Amino acid sequence: MRWLTIWAASAVGLAVISHIHVGIMATSTQAILVAALALGFVNIFIKPIVKLLTLPINLLTFGLFGLVVNALMLWLVSSFVPGFIVNGFGAAFWGAIILSIVSGVVGWIIRYL
């Protein structure tokens, strides 16, 4: 049940950032749902490996490099989900920040309702 909450929060977050026009676009609701699912899989399987490889940089930047890793994961998802488009690293970076905030708030609301 927890994974469904996380998936729903990510989908809402992706919908919000695609409507804000920060350089991230989704052509349909289906693209948002598939992108949220793909982002979940990327965060489960690929992100831990990347975080381990970038641990020295992350320690030097007091964890701020984690934002770069999140942006790279979002950009990676856009490369293989049709209909979900991220226009460059800058858009992925700001989109990852907004996605973290929105997903956190939505997840908190869903959890306590």
Of 79, 77, 78, 74, give the one whose Cα is nearest residue 93.
74
| Maximal C-alpha separation, the chain | 40
> Where does the pLDDT of residue 85 fall: very low under 50, low under 70, confident under 90, or very high at 90 and above?
very high
Instruction: Return the pLDDT at 94.
Output: 94
> Where does the pLDDT of residue 108 fall: very low under 50, low under 70, confident under 90, or very high at 90 and above?
confident
The structure's pTM equals 0.89
Cα distances (Å, whole numbers) of residue 35 to 61, 78, 111: 29, 7, 22
Which tokens go with 89? Answer: 């690293």
User: Is residue 107 scored above 80 in pLDDT?
Assistant: no
